[in-house]
Amino acid sequence: MPKQKQPTQILLGPVPPALIGCGKDEESNIITLAWVGVVNSSPPMITAAVRPNRYSHDIIRKTGEFTVNLARADQAGLADGCGTRSGRDMDKFEHFNLTAVRGTLRQAPMIEECPISMECRVERLVELESHTVFFANVVATYVDPAVTDEKGRIDFERCRLLGFCAGSYLDTAPLNLSIGYTVKEK
């Protein structure tokens, strides 16, 4: 059967519904974004696209830093809750019983309960029609030892990350294949 044309939409995924930690002075917030991506390997850089009307937008813009925290599949309610409620109306760390932890950044907290966290410093931004895209250097990465193997690598069977595509949350099960597996000698 041939493919059927559908309404124009973005179907890249699954992508992580990343919990973005940001803060200014004593105030911290979390926003869930599915529009986070890798853009450079050396130095390691990512982008995060945020609508200007979102509470976290101005915090990130003013402080120039944020954290990317990846949730496990069993934390879908956390990702959804932090993405559908505004920090203008509540303290999400308190509401969701989360622990804000500091690494090397001055303002943006990491989320202790997420297995993977990355600290990011904004290098530049691009204003688009609907979003501001923050380009940021990843300055530090933290991984919960409970999800690593004996060599310190992430064990994706222990760390079943949450995915997102076309408005739906997904459980990302590992295939136990690594890059180049089709050309490696058997």
Domain-located, residue 12: no
Task: Note whether 112 and 123 are within 8 A (CB).
Answer: no
DSSP 37-76: EEEEETTEEEEEEE-TTSHHHHHHHHH-EEEEEEPBGGGH
């059967």: which residue's tokens? 1
Domain-located, residue 69: yes
Question: Exposed/middle/buried for 153, CB within 10 Å: 0-12, 13-18, 19+?
Answer: exposed
Q: What is the pLDDT of residue 186?
A: 58
**Backbone phi and psi for residue 34, each to the nearest 5 degrees, phi listed first:** -95, -10
Per-residue tens of pLDDT for the chain, all 186 residues: 899 999 988 888 899 999 999 998 888 999 999 999 999 999 999 999 999 999 999 999 999 999 999 999 999 999 999 999 999 999 999 999 999 999 999 999 999 999 999 999 999 999 999 999 999 999 999 999 999 999 999 999 999 999 999 999 999 988 888 889 888 865
Domain-located, residue 61: yes
Domain count, the chain: 1
Q: What is the pLDDT of residue 56?
A: 97
Q: Please give the model's pTM, rounded to 2 decimal places.
A: 0.94
Task: Note whether 139 and 120 are within 8 A (CB).
Answer: yes
Q: Beta-carbon neighbour count of residue 168 at 10 Å?
A: 9
Residue (of 105, 90, 98) closest to 71 by Cα position: 98
- The number of residues making up the chain comes to 186
Domain-located, residue 137: yes
Q: What is the pLDDT of residue 185?
A: 66
Domain-located, residue 67: yes
The Cβ-side half-sphere exposure at 159, using a 13 Å CA radius, reads 20
Q: Beta-carbon neighbour count of residue 11 at 10 Å?
A: 8
The two three-digit tokens of residue 58, written as one number: 């101005």
CATH of the domain at 155: 2.30.110.10
Domain-located, residue 7: no
Residue (of 138, 141, 142) closest to 40 by Cα position: 138
Q: What is the pLDDT of residue 178?
A: 86
